[in-house]
């Protein structure tokens, strides 16, 4: 797994697992993006936890960044939003923002998130350990991990 | 029994390392208790009234003698010499030190055990029929399916922060010994045109708003099941309520949408999910099923039992059930001695049960949702020897499914959520009805006690249920009648004003007296109640 670029500039993602150039423009809300039929100047959209990620599916070609808000670490709707976008073929940046804790990032990576803007700083060493810890996963998700059943049966 | 391969073992070992890391960060002050809480909960560690409580998973209630001995060892080394078997077929230890928890998990991992997802808002340990693989009435052994679901649900990245906890049960008989339709998802294996598949019920549960799960999937083939469950869970994760913890279970979503609309949404999601290729091949179910092949039964096991010891005969009639293999029987070990704590066993008793399983039950034990233990495969010729060993250890109470075979939650003696004590009430009731002749005269009578509205003691599903509440600072006990967690599933109805501790025992006696006066030949209490209705019993209670 590639080492994340660590930055601590306000407003920038603290952790990014991509090599392309970050989107500079501020993200627009889902409502305004959909109201404009995807024809806005922005190619960055912000999804709140209760937003329907499927509303973005007709517009994925015009989007370079989707930021998903986590109002509290207990609110797990964003995990489904991420998988829905990746399952639909979205290749752009997918950022988890808000109350994101180090122990959640491995699950979020598996659901397709590839950048993180946590409210509180993430301990780099703890994150490194968390991301390297599990060699095997039982179920397929939105990451390239091969499920255990496939290792067993080819 | 299922045995780990290197993949299973590596996942459980990694979990031990992860939890050790989390505990160290917590003890070092790098995490707040609020941040640590969901992490420890996902590993079965609760902060209770007096200490930490650790809940260890016993997948579908099946374990080997070696695993059982490890449970005894943990009770002895890290607790106060006993453990408590739960209604989810798990075991909990009530006096655990946080700093010991990683070492306990490391010891468990050496016998292919863990505490993964035994609490928290995730998919919990999968429960099943305690007679699986031994019952005469099953269409197949449900445990391979339960194991398949266990693997799929373990560290599921999308479903680890659900609106609320999520419980799944799998059975394979028309007789329901696992309260299947009182689970978030209940699965009954059925045969259709010779093919085995899952009938899927969604949205059952107890708690403060008890509901019986409606059928959502009539027949889901094995190689569609993970996609189907993934669809069920995704609809819930996206649309289950998160604004109110008391309305966050899937039963509320299914109820508010209606079963038809929920079924439609699941069908839409399934059509999409099925295209992702997430279902393991049938070869994986076959691989798992091979582990659950019948044990090498003695082909010529003699049938028939010498009943000349009258105490043994009573135990035989009450606690021993027919087996699918000739010359064999299913032995139920009651953890409900009169005056004891329902579900508790000492380390010595745990070791003894392990020894008996090793010698007489093909190395297998089961935990039941009624908080008893089962030796599933005992030769009839060995029954008397097993009985004598159990009797010597205080484990031969002949009360299976009788009024003293009480399910009770830990209640206010341990639990930080409880409003009232449960254990002393269970002890008083058992003492009042201790006479064995009287218990047998009353017949099958399932009595279940919860110390608060969360219903861990299954009071809604009791033929007689008791709910402890806090009434202006004093404990008060409401009585419910007519519930059932079996195939004739129903929810109990509250009789009226509650009682104090002694009053509720008296009220139960008025109910049982009324039953004896009213019953027709062959009727259980529940049958009489359903025939004559609530009113005669209410009048008997309140006069």
The structural architecture, per CATH, of the domain B127-289 is: 2-Layer Sandwich (3.30)
Burial class of B306 by CB neighbour count within 10 A (0 to 12, 13 to 18, 19+): exposed
Q: Which of B30, B163, B278 sits opposite A139 (nearest CB)?
A: B278
- Indicate if the pLDDT at residue A11 is higher than 60: no
- What does pTM read for this prediction? 0.95
pLDDT in tens, B392-407: 999 999 999 999 999 9
Mutate to test the interface with A, among B22, B28, B161, B266 (most CBs of A within 10 A): B161
- Residue B237, chain A, CB below 8 Å: the answer is yes
Show the low-confidence residues of chain B (pLDDT under 70).
Answer: none
Distance from CA of B86 to the nearest CA of A (A): 26
CB pairs under 8 A between A and B: 104
Radius of gyration of chain A (CA): 16
Cα–Cα distances in angstroms (integers) from residue A125 to residues A57, A115, A128, A129, B350, in the given order: 36, 17, 5, 6, 42
- Residue B542, chain A, CB below 8 Å: the answer is no
- How many angstroms separate the CA atoms of B443 and B519, rounded? 12
In the 8-state DSSP scheme, what is residue B134?
T
pLDDT in tens, B101-139: 999 999 999 999 999 999 999 999 999 999 999 998 899
Parallel, antiparallel or unpaired: strands A44-47 and A28-29: parallel
Residue spans per domain, chain B = 6-109, 127-289, 310-392, 407-542
- Residue B14, chain A, CB below 8 Å: the answer is yes
- How many angstroms separate the CA atoms of A98 and A101, rounded? 9
Q: Which of A73, A75, A111 sits opposite B157 (nearest CB)?
A: A111
For helices B525-532 and B534-542, give the axis angle rounded to 10 degrees: 100
Listed by number, the residues of chain B in 253-282 with a beta carbon closer than 8 Å to a beta carbon of chain A are 272, 276-278, 280-281
Alpha carbon of residue A99 to chain centroid = 13
- Residue B24, chain A, CB below 8 Å: the answer is no
| pLDDT at position B401 | 98
Interface predicted TM-score (ipTM): 0.94
For helices B383-392 and B347-360, give the axis angle rounded to 10 degrees: 170
Judge: A73–B234 Cβ closer than 8 Å, yes or no: no
pLDDT in tens, A23-38: 888 899 999 998 888 7
- Residue B156, chain A, CB below 8 Å: the answer is yes
- How many angstroms separate the CA atoms of B357 and B363, rounded? 5
- In chain A, residues with a C-beta closer than 8 Å to the C-beta of B25 are 126
- In chain A, residues with a C-beta closer than 8 Å to the C-beta of B226 are 139
Return phi, psi of residue B330, to 5°: -105, 125
* Residue B373: count of CB within 10 angstroms of its CB: 27
Q: Which of B7, B25, B158 sits opposite A111 (nearest CB)?
A: B158
- Indicate if the pLDDT at residue A151 is higher than 50: yes
CATH fold match for the domains B6-109 and B407-542: no
- Residue B157, chain A, CB below 8 Å: the answer is yes
The CATH fold assigned to B407-542 is: Sulfite Reductase Hemoprotein; domain 1 (3.30.413)
pLDDT in tens, B437-462: 999 999 999 999 999 999 999 999 99
| pLDDT at position A13 | 64
Judge: A74–B158 Cβ closer than 8 Å, yes or no: no
Find the closest chain B residue to A51 by CA distance. Answer: B238
Find the closest chain A residue to B274 by CA distance. Answer: A87
Three-state SS across B504-517?
A: HHHHHHHHHHHHHH
Q: Which of B10, B151, B154 sits opposite A135 (nearest CB)?
A: B10
Looking at the domain that runs over B6-109, which CATH code has it been given? 3.90.480.20
- How many angstroms separate the CA atoms of B214 and B266, rounded? 14
- Token code pair at residue B99: 């700093």
User: Which residues, at least 6 apart from B273, have a Cβ–Cβ distance to it below 8 Å?
Assistant: B227, B230, B231, B234
3-state secondary structure of B206: coil
Average pLDDT, chain A: 90
- In chain B, residues with a C-beta closer than 8 Å to the C-beta of A107 are 155, 157-158, 160
Q: Which of B158, B161, B281 sits opposite A141 (nearest CB)?
A: B158
| pLDDT at position A12 | 57
In 3D, which of B179, B165, B174 has the Cα closest to residue B199?
A: B174
- In chain B, residues with a C-beta closer than 8 Å to the C-beta of A106 are 157
pLDDT in tens, B324-341: 999 999 999 999 999 999
| pLDDT at position B49 | 80
| pLDDT at position B34 | 85
Return phi, psi of residue B455, to 5°: 65, 30
Residue with token string 């029954």: B383
- How many angstroms separate the CA atoms of B170 and B193, rounded? 21
Q: Which of A76, A106, A147 sits opposite B161 (nearest CB)?
A: A76
Judge: B7–A77 Cβ closer than 8 Å, yes or no: no
Mutate to test the interface with B, among A148, A150, A151 (most CBs of B within 10 A): A148
Residue environment code for B196-232, b if the CB has 16+ CB neighbours within 10 A, otherwise e: bbbbbbbbbbbbeebbbbbebbeebebebbbbbbbbb
Judge: B8–A76 Cβ closer than 8 Å, yes or no: no
Find the closest chain A residue to B25 by CA distance. Answer: A126
- Indicate if the pLDDT at residue A39 is higher than 90: no
* Cβ(A60)–Cβ(A90) below 8 Å: yes
Q: Which of A79, A87, A126 sits opposite B25 (nearest CB)?
A: A126
Return phi, psi of residue B32, to 5°: -80, 160
- How many angstroms separate the CA atoms of A90 and B187, rounded? 35
- How many angstroms separate the CA atoms of B358 and B365, rounded? 9
Looking at the domain that runs over A5-153, which CATH code has it been given? 3.40.50
Judge: B156–A139 Cβ closer than 8 Å, yes or no: yes
Cα–Cα distances in angstroms (integers) from residue B112 to residues B11, B57, B115, B151, B510, in the given order: 11, 11, 11, 13, 49
Judge: B157–A79 Cβ closer than 8 Å, yes or no: yes
Find the closest chain A residue to B21 by CA distance. Answer: A126
Judge: A135–B278 Cβ closer than 8 Å, yes or no: no
- In chain B, residues with a C-beta closer than 8 Å to the C-beta of A153 are 280-281, 283-284, 287
Alpha carbon of residue B132 to chain centroid = 14
- In chain B, residues with a C-beta closer than 8 Å to the C-beta of A137 are 11, 155, 157
Judge: B276–A137 Cβ closer than 8 Å, yes or no: no
Distance from CA of B94 to the nearest CA of A (A): 26
Distance from CA of A63 to the nearest CA of B (A): 22
Judge: A80–B234 Cβ closer than 8 Å, yes or no: yes
- Residue B287, chain A, CB below 8 Å: the answer is yes
Q: Which of A126, A136, A149 sits opposite B10 (nearest CB)?
A: A136
Distance from CA of B395 to the nearest CA of A (A): 39
- Token code pair at residue B377: 């495969």
Find the closest chain B residue to A74 by CA distance. Answer: B161
pLDDT in tens, B247-261: 999 999 999 999 999
Distance from CA of B287 to the nearest CA of A (A): 9
Judge: B121–A129 Cβ closer than 8 Å, yes or no: no
Mutate to test the interface with B, among A75, A79, A113 (most CBs of B within 10 A): A79
């Amino acid at each position: 797994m590639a080492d994340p670029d660590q930055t601590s500039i306000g407003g920038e993602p603290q952790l990014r697992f991509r090599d392309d150039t970050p989107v500079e423009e501020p993200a627009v809300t889902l409502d305004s993006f959909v109201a404009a039929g995807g024809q806005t100047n922005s190619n960055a959209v912000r999804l709140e936890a209760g937003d329907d990620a499927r509303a973005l599916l007709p517009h994925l070609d015009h989007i370079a960044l989707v930021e998903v808000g986590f109002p509290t670490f207990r609110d797990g709707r964003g995990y489904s939003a991420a998988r829905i976008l990746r399952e639909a073929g979205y290749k752009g940046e997918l950022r988890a923002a808000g109350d994101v804790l180090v122990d959640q990032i491995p699950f979020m990576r598996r659901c397709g998130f590839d950048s993180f803007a946590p409210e509180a700083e993430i301990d780099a060493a703890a994150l490194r350990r968390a991301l390297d810890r599990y060699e095997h996963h039982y179920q397929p998700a939105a990451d390239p991990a091969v499920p255990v059943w496939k290792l067993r049966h080819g | 029994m299922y045995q780990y391969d290197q993949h299973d073992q590596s996942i459980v070992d990694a979990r031990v390392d992860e939890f050790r890391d989390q505990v160290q960060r917590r003890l070092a002050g790098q995490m707040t208790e609020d941040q640590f809480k969901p992490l420890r909960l996902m590993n079965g560690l609760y902060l209770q009234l007096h200490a930490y409580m650790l809940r260890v998973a016993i997948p579908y209630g099946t374990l080997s003698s070696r695993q059982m001995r490890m449970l005894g060892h943990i009770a002895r080394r890290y607790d106060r010499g006993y453990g408590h078997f739960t209604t989810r077929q798990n075991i909990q230890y009530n006096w655990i030190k946080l700093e010991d928890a990683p070492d306990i998990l490391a010891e468990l991992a050496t016998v292919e055990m863990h505490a993964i997802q035994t609490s928290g808002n995730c998919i919990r340990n999968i429960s099943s029929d305690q007679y699986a693989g031994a019952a005469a009435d099953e269409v197949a052994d449900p445990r391979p399916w339960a194991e398949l679901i266990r693997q799929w649900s373990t560290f599921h990245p999308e479903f680890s922060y659900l609106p609320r906890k999520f419980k799944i049960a799998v059975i394979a008989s028309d007789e329901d010994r696992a309260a299947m339709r009182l689970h978030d998802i209940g699965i009954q294996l059925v045969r259709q045109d010779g093919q085995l598949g899952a009938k899927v019920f969604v949205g059952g549960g107890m708690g403060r708003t008890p509901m019986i799960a409606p059928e959502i999937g009539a027949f889901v083939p094995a190689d569609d099941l993970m996609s189907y469950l993934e669809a069920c869970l995704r609809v819930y994760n996206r649309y289950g309520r998160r604004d109110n913890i008391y309305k966050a279970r899937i039963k509320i979503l299914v109820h508010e949408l209606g079963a038809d609309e929920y079924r439609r949404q699941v069908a839409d999601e399934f059509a999409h999910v099925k295209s992702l290729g997430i279902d393991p091949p049938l070869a994986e179910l076959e691989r798992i099923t091979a582990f659950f092949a019948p044990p090498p039964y003695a082909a010529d096991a003699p049938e028939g039992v010498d009943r000349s010891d009258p105490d043994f005969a009573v135990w035989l009639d009450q606690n021993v059930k027919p087996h699918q293999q000739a010359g064999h029987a299913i032995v139920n070990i009651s953890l409900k001695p009169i005056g004891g704590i329902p579900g508790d066993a000492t380390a010595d008793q745990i070791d003894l049960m392990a020894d008996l399983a090793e010698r007489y039950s093909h190395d297998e034990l089961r935990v039941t949702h009624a908080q008893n233990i089962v030796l599933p495969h005992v030769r009839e010729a060995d029954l008397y020897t097993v009985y004598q060993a159990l009797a010597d250890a205080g484990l031969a109470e002949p009360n299976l499914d009788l009024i003293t075979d009480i399910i009770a939650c830990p209640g206010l003696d341990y639990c930080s959520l409880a409003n009232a004590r449960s254990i002393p009430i269970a002890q008083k009731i058992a003492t009042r009805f201790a006479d064995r002749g009287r218990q047998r005269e009353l017949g099958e009578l399932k009595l279940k006690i919860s110390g608060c509205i969360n219903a861990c003691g299954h009071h809604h599903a009791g033929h007689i249920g008791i709910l402890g509440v806090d009434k202006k600072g004093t404990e008060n006990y409401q009585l419910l009648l007519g519930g059932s967690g079996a195939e004739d599933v129903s929810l109990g109805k509250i009789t009226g004003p509650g009682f104090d501790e002694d009053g509720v025992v008296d009220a139960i006696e008025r109910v049982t007296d009324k039953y004896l006066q009213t019953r027709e030949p062959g009727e259980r209490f529940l049958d009489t109640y359903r025939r004559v209705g609530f009113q005669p019993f209410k009048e008997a209670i309140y006069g």
